Structure 1
Amino acid sequence: MQQDGLILELQQGNEKAFERIYQLYSESTYGIIFSIVKDEGIAEEVLQDVFMKIWNNASSYSPDKGRFFTWILNIARNASIDKIRSKSYKNKKQNLKADNFVDILEHKSNFSATIDAIGIKKYINILEPVCKKLIDFLFFKGFTQKETAEELGMPLGTVKTRNRVCIQKLREIVA
């Protein structure tokens, strides 16, 4: 079954199609979630939530708006960010060790896995270091612009402007 047919069957409520989509996408989706929440148990919980959202909102996917995998990753990213911004998560993570905050760009393992999973590594690597850092914080770690400004020691307005410029550069590279 081709992907378009599989997606159509999912949108029609076919459970077998949903199972196949889970088999195809759960591992890479889990990788994205884990790179944000950094906790296996929470990542598994968010993964379940993400696939429930996929099942419940399959009809909202439109190929005109982008690739199916990108749609899934946006759901995963948003669910992960919602989770780490939740009060229960913050209370649980109050006493994290410092190594959880090591910049993943410098160690590259999580960042490379994340950007490889969504197929944009070759594009991200072309960008200048400040863009890599901003994209890492804002999109892969789920930081707000204010949190990113504090982490990088930049004025908030500079983060906002550079983010727009970096995303525009990424769009031009990908196009």
Structure 2
Amino acid sequence: MTQEDLLVLIYKKDERAFTHLYDMYSKSLFAVINVLVKNTEEAEDVLQDVFVKIWKNIDSYNESKGRFYTWILNIARNTSIDKLRSKNFNNSQKNLSSDNFVNLLEDSTKAANKVDTIGIQEFVKRLKPKCIQIIDLLFFKGYTQQEAAEELAIPLGTVKTHNRNCINDLRTYLKV
């Protein structure tokens, strides 16, 4: 099934489309979510929420504004960030058992491998060091632009400009 066929079925709310949608995109979306959330069970919950949002909000997808995959990837990223900022998630993280500390340490060493599996890491490595730092904070760690500005001790406008320029550089690498 092509992406265009899938979109037609989703717009029609055909139940078969949901299965195809999940089969086509669940692994890559889960990888992105899990890098941000760093908890497999929570990432699975977020993944479920993402697919429900895609299904319910398909009418807001505009093909002229970007690719379908980019749209669903943004939904996954934003839902993950919302989860990280939620009060319940933050409270659950305060009460970790000692077993979880071992998992956290192991997960942090595997994060680069998880990012690499979605294919972006090699392209990001080609960017200037300031771009690597900004993209890491904004996209892989889920910082807001304001939080990144504070972390890097630079003005918000500078972060926004660097982000735009770095994304354009990344687009150039991806076109090659």
Q: Do both proteins adopt the same fold according to a TM-score greater than 0.5, normalized to the shorter chain?
A: yes
Per the alignment, residue 105 of structure 2 pairs with 99
Per the alignment, residue 154 of structure 2 pairs with 155
1:71 equivalenced with 2:71 (yes/no): yes
- Give the one of 116, 131, 146 matched to 1:112: 116
Matches within 5 A, 1:34-45: 34-45=34-45
SS of match in other structure, 2:24: helix
Change (3 A) 1:103 1:155: farther
- The farther-off stretch of 122-131 and 159-168 is 159-168
Per the alignment, residue 85 of structure 1 pairs with 85
SS of match in other structure, 1:49: helix
Is contact 2:32-2:115 (8 Å) kept? no
Unaligned runs of 5+ in 1: none
Alignment RMSD: 2.6
Is contact 1:111-1:136 (8 Å) kept? no
Unaligned runs of 5+ in 2: none
Q: Percent identical across equivalent pairs?
A: 46
Q: CA deviation at 1:28?
A: 0.7
Q: CA deviation at 1:171?
A: 4.2
Per the alignment, residue 46 of structure 1 pairs with 46
Q: CA deviation at 1:9?
A: 0.8
